[in-house]
Amino acid sequence: MFAAVLACSGAEPASHTVPESTQALDSLDLMHADRTVVIAQLQHPDPAARKAAAAELSYVRFDHESIPALVDAIRTETDDDVIHRLIGCLLNYQDQRGVDAVAKIYLSESSPANEAPLVSGLRGADPRFVQEAMTTYGYINPERAARFLPNP
């Protein structure tokens, strides 16, 4: 109705659309979006959009080709809730690349808020992948790595 009144008055309606690059997609839009669009949402300013994009790629699509984008996202993420989601998403794949990314954060992590999700996530991951990651990246923090390595 409002649009019809504007059309009759000759006035241009104000545009309230957000540019696509910054527009958060809802779950239905994410479900139908191309992978590149969903990956772009990992950089969205809204943490909820980043969490939704991570979940879409990992839990819904189980898209292994998205692992590098999720690894990049967790390396730069600053929001603890999004980091927790990314930990779960990366470990969901049971892939060495995801375990490596989570292990590196665990080995260099200083935020107490992330300690429990990191430890429980790594404890639930494939032990072979965790051991490989701790052996490879244990030099970052040998004491923390030792918690996940077998006793000599």
Question: Per the domain annotation, does 136 fall within a domain?
Answer: yes
The reply to whether 110 falls in a domain is yes
- 109 or 61: whose pLDDT is higher? 61
- What angle in degrees, to the nearest 10, is found between the helix axes of 67-76 and 47-55? 150
Q: Report the percentage of the chain scoring pLDDT > 90.
A: 64
The range of the structural domain enclosing residue 75 comes to 21-146
Q: What is the pTM of this model?
A: 0.79
Give pLDDT, residue 24.
62
pLDDT at residue 132, rounded to an integer: 97
| 3-class secondary-structure state, position 38 | helix
- Biggest distance spanned by C-alpha atoms of the chain: 82
Instruction: Please indicate, yes or no, if residue 122 is contained in any of the structural domains.
Output: yes
What mean pLDDT is reported for the chain?
83
- Whether residue 151 has pLDDT greater than 60: yes
The strand ranges marked E within 6-104 are none
As a whole number of angstroms, the distance between CA 123 and CA 118 comes to 9
Count: domains in the chain: 1
Q: For position 87, which CATH number holds?
A: 1.25.10.10
What does residue 28 show for φ and ψ, rounded to 5 degrees?
Answer: -70, -40
76-131 per-position pLDDT tens digit: 999 999 999 999 999 999 999 999 999 999 999 768 999 999 999 999 999 999 99
